[in-house]
Amino acid sequence: MALATKITSLFLLLLAVWCFFITPSNSATDSFVFGGCSQLKYTSGSPYESNVNSILTSLVNSAMYTSYSNFTLPGASNQDTVYGLFQCRGNLNSGDCGRCVAKAVSQLGTLCLDSTGGALQLEGCFVKYDNTTFLGVEDKTVVVKKCGPSISSYSDALGRRDAVLGYLGASDGTYKPFRVSGSGDVQGVAQCVGDLSPSECQDCLADAIGRLKTDCGAAKWGDMYLAKCYARYSEGGDHSHGQKDTNNNDDEIEKTLAILIGLIAAVALIILFLSFLSKLCDNGKGNSISHFHFNLSFSFSLLLLNNFYFLFLKKICRW
């Protein structure tokens, strides 16, 4: 039956949607941290727009193979030259890095529509482009500062935090653009953008860590994002968004799954019923009412029910 075919198609569509929604979303990499755009706009259809699109495409493609890269795309004039870079958090695998950069570029295209420059930081990656070169330029401008509630009553926790930050800011003469540290239940992470030299990276991280201590004081957690580096710490897993957003995301996924599974089960029952009905129609096609033998020994009410059943099939099957 045509209707059964349509219902089957709907079932397959719902199944595809269900498979899409059960794919876990890693909020630890996708969460928005900050974004900013140039006030200058380019003309739609201009050579600069083409260069911007090419740069952003290159960033996405490159992120599947490496955790950091930068590009320069010359234009007919200096104003048409585009510079771009991306960097993933140092502990991301290539798959997560590629997905994070792709999402960041997608959001950047919406956030900074027709802007000559833009930057976007997600939890797991950073993307930036502009027509003014920023590659290899140290920039310690504070972009984001967040501090949690005070833990002043826990002197040992403060000691562990200082130990973590001290390790993140220490230099042993080797180039470490990505650093992690832990002491008890205090965890810390720091990273600088890959276009900085080792000395610039160390200088930037030292500034970010110093600001964390000064500005966040005895906070349970703190984030300090400068333009070219960041430092973060948290105590006992507490952070500004992380755990709460993850739980909310899981709740939404569970609700979505419950709805979709219910729809799929309902559609499956409809398909089974229509398949059964189709067989009845095929078996009864061309037969008159005389071919439906009713047992006259049945009660009058059962006879009425049988007649109703036949009329229903006759209407549905169009005999």
Give the pLDDT of the chain (319 residues) as one tens digit per residue. 444 444 444 444 443 443 334 334 455 788 999 999 999 999 999 999 999 999 999 999 999 999 999 999 998 888 899 999 999 999 999 999 999 999 999 999 999 999 999 999 999 999 999 999 999 999 999 999 999 998 766 678 888 999 999 999 998 778 889 999 999 889 999 999 999 999 999 999 999 999 999 999 889 999 999 999 999 999 876 554 333 333 444 444 444 445 545 555 565 566 666 666 666 566 655 554 444 443 434 444 444 445 555 555 555 666 5
In this prediction the pTM is 0.67
Contact partners, residue 51, CB within 8 Å, separation at least 6: 73, 75, 80, 81, 82
Other Cβ atoms within 10 Å of 74 Cβ, number: 10
Please determine whether the domains at 32-135 and 136-240 fall in the same fold group of CATH.
yes
CA distances for 91 relative to 29, 166, 220, angstroms: 11, 20, 23
CATH number of 136-240: 3.30.430.20
242-284 helix and 300-317 helix, angle to the nearest 10 degrees:
100
Q: Three-state SS across the chain?
A: CHHHHHHHHHHHHHHHHHHHHHCCCCHHHHCEEEEEECCCECCCCCHHHHHHHHHHHHHHHHCCCCCEEEEEECCCCHHHCEEEEEEECCCCCHHHHHHHHHHHHHHHHHHCCCECCEEEEECCEEEEEECCCCCCCCCCCEEEEEECCECCCCHHHHHHHHHHHHHHHCCCCCCCCEEEEEECCEEEEEEECCCCCHHHHHHHHHHHHHHHHHHHCCECEEEEEECCEEEEEEECCCCCCHHHHHHHHHHHHHHHHHHHHHHHHHHHHHHHHHHHHHHHHHHHCCCCHHHCCCCCCCCHHHHHHHHHHHHHHHHHHCC
Cβ pair 256, 23 in contact under 8 A: no
**pLDDT given for residue 283 in this prediction:** 62
Query: What are the extents of the domains in the chain?
Result: 32-135, 136-240, 285-319
Distance of alpha carbon 264 from the chain centroid: 26
Residue 219 backbone phi and psi in degrees, to 5: -70, 150
Q: Rounded to an integer, what distance in angstroms lies between the CA atom of residue 72 and that of residue 55?
A: 8
Q: Rounded to an integer, what distance in angstroms lies between the CA atom of residue 163 and that of residue 32?
A: 28
CATH of range 32-135; options 1.10.10.10, 2.90.10.10, 3.30.430.20, 3.40.50.150: 3.30.430.20
